[in-house]
Amino acid sequence: MAAIASRRKGRILAFQALYCWESNRVSSDELIAFSWLEKEKLAELDEGIAAFSRLLIMGTIENVQLIDEMIKSHLQHWDISRLNRVDLAILRMSVYTLMYQSEIAPSIVIDEAIGISKEFGTEDSYRFVNGVLDSIHHTLLAQTEKGAVLSQNAV
């Protein structure tokens, strides 16, 4: 149970960092040093949580173009520039995990994103985030299955 709580704290920290990055264009070095955190929180920060957060932060930033393209392709009647920054930060972090961390179950990624959006987003954020992530998950699943069939046919 402690590992789950740590991962959740790590995701929240990464979401907050990505929000700072989008809102203020804080450098990645500052983000992963957590210099934007209050001193008391920084002093209490567990290294395991910090390491997990750094992985999410840097992975998302390094792949933001592909992540944003994936998000854009799943927005119905919305432009990515119209998304509020909280939803965008949650979506980016979650899509990074769905695309690049296959060892983490998609249901966990989506559930965590819903929880974070309920805590930090608007009243309807969690519905929006859920819909976009579920659609992306199904697209990635179809791509994986198609790739498996193609590789079987090549044998």
Q: What is the CATH number of the domain that holds 33?
A: 1.10.940.10
The tally of domains found in the chain comes to 1
Task: Please check the confidence at residue 146 and state whether its pLDDT lies above 70.
Answer: no
Counting every residue written for the chain, the total comes to 155
Distances (CA, A) of 58 to 16, 50, 53, 135: 13, 12, 9, 24
Q: Residue 88: which domain range?
A: 2-154
pLDDT confidence of residue 4: 59
Spatial separation of the C-alpha atoms in residues 100 and 117, rounded to whole Å: 21
Pick the more confident residue, 6 or 112: 112
pLDDT tens sequence across 20-42:
999 888 888 988 988 888 888 87
pLDDT confidence of residue 54: 95
Which of the four pLDDT bands, split at 50, 70 and 90, describes residue 13?
very high
Instruction: Kindly state the percentage of the chain with pLDDT values over 90.
Output: 61
